[in-house]
A = this chain, B = another copy of it.
Amino acid sequence: MSNFWSLYPDLQEQLDEVTKIIEDSVRDSHDFIINAVHDTVQSGGKLLRPAFVLLGSTFGEEPKRNILNLAAIVEMLHIATLIHDDIIDEAKLRRGVESVQSKYGKDSAVFIGDYLFAKIFTLVSEDFHKESAIGLSKVIMKICRGELIQYSVRYKFNSSIMQYLRIITGKTASLFSVSLLVGAEETNANEKIKSALAKTGYRIGMAFQIIDDCLDYSTKNIIKKSTMNDLKQGYLTLPVIYALQNDKDGKLENLLKNSTFTNEEIGLIHSAVVENNGLEQSRTLARKYTQKAYDSLRKLPDCESKDRLKYIIDKLLIRDY
């Protein structure tokens, strides 16, 4: 388990319970599904999204009996998208553990993910507000749209910041946003609070993903294997997109056209991204989203959960990148 929540043992305890609920809810399915879910939840993520559901739920006016179940549903949605994502990336590992597609084959991974989607909709339709069901469905649509845009703009060296932002909205921000929102929705929080929570989640997600993409270029001359694979497949992240916009002599574009890279070329790409201000401009945008996250957080009434959300922003977004 991650020690991200060590300051808040009560929250950690609830998240442990969420993990149990997730495993229990697929107990009557198929061995592949049971094991895939077990491996994923035991690999020790921070469980940010269910934590958002729990924190969001404290802003409402009514108590909610089964909010841990909703937190579990949201994490299951995340797991299902990761399983399908790994099929595409042909990822061998996920959080250091063998990925579902590598362990059970791509064929099974498609249906394990589909099963989880369907299970999520059954559970959410049975016990929660119609708005939560619709909210979660729409997140999946955004994720898919983001993935299809990402696929469509591969090798497009003039791809726009707007396209990138739409991709990471799908990849990260939309589920962060909805996680905070559905919690508040289920406890009937007022519209202002719901809007502030949804914005806070969205902005945390945007900053979080941009920072993740910055980290690939911030350590001198070291590019992670996964980033190299992205580059080989023509997937461009923000630092590269900015750098390409400033790439007057076309040097970076030429380097990126390759489908394999020597160590020297990797070094050159790295330098070109930094020299063309790609990293610096990305950092500026990440800081803007971080500031905006604090801005929307301030609109929430003072309470313990607000402090915890501030802690999350500090810890996730205030760092060297």
Interface residues of A (CB under 8 A from B): 29-33, 84, 87-88, 105-108, 110-115, 117-119, 121-122, 125-126, 130, 133-134, 137-141, 143-145, 147-149, 151-152
Across the interface, which residues of B come within 8 angstroms of A149, CB to CB? 30
Task: Return the contact of A138 from the options B87, B88, B118, B140 (Cβ within 8 A).
Answer: B118
B119 lies within 8 A of A130 (CB): no
Q: Which of A88, A107, A112 has the most CB of B within 10 A?
A: A107
Query: Shortest Cβ distance from A110 into chain B, in angstroms?
Result: 5
Q: Closest residue of chain B to A233, judged by CB?
A: B107
Given contacts A130-B125, A134-B125, whether A148 and B108 have CB atoms under 8 Å apart is: yes
Instruction: Please give, as numbers and ranges, the residues of chain B lying within 8 Å of A144 by CB-CB distance.
Output: 30, 111-112, 114-115, 118
Determine the residue in chain B with the shortest Cβ distance to A123.
B137
**24 A–B pairs (Cβ distance < 8 Å), ordered by A:** A30-B145, A30-B148, A30-B149, A30-B152, A32-B148, A87-B110, A88-B107, A105-B151, A107-B151, A112-B148, A113-B114, A114-B143, A115-B141, A115-B144, A115-B145, A117-B118, A118-B144, A119-B141, A122-B138, A122-B141, A125-B134, A125-B137, A126-B130, A126-B134
Chain B nearest CB: distance from A86 CB in Å?
Answer: 10
Rounded to whole angstroms, the CA-CA distance of A122 and B144 in the bound complex is: 14
Considering only CB atoms, which chain B residue lies closest to A77 in the complex?
B118
B148 touches A121 (CB 8 A): no
Closest chain B CB from A83 CB (angstroms): 10
The answer to whether B151 touches A108 (Cβ under 8 A) is yes
Identity of the chain B residue whose Cβ is nearest the Cβ of A90 in the assembled complex: B107
| CB atoms of B107 and A134 under 8 A apart | no
State whether A137 touches B122 (Cβ < 8 A): yes
Q: Which residue of B lies closest to A120 (CB)?
A: B137
Q: List chain B residues, Cβ under 8 A from A108.
A: 148, 151
Pairwise interchain contact A140-B117, C-beta atoms closer than 8 A: yes
Q: How far is the CB of A4 from chain B (nearest CB, A)?
A: 29
Q: How far is the CB of A30 from chain B (nearest CB, A)?
A: 5
For residue A29, which residue of chain B has the nearest CB?
A: B145
In the complex, what distance in Å separates the CA atom of A228 from the CA atom of B122? 37
Residues of B within 8 A of A151 (CB): 105, 107-108, 111
Instruction: Determine the chain B residues whose CB is within 8 A of the CB of A147 once the complex forms.
Output: 107, 111
Say whether B112 contacts A33, CB under 8 Å.
no
Q: Are B111 and A148 interface neighbours, CB within 8 A?
A: yes
A88-B106, A110-B110, A125-B137 are known; give 8 further A-B pairs, CB within 8 A: A30-B149, A32-B148, A108-B151, A114-B117, A118-B137, A118-B144, A122-B138, A126-B134
Hey, which chain B residues are within 8 Å of A111, CB to CB? Answer: 84, 143-144, 147-148, 151
Residues of B within 8 A of A126 (CB): 130, 134
Q: How far is the CB of A317 from chain B (nearest CB, A)?
A: 28
Q: Could you say which residues of chain B place their CB within 8 Å of the CB of A33?
A: 148
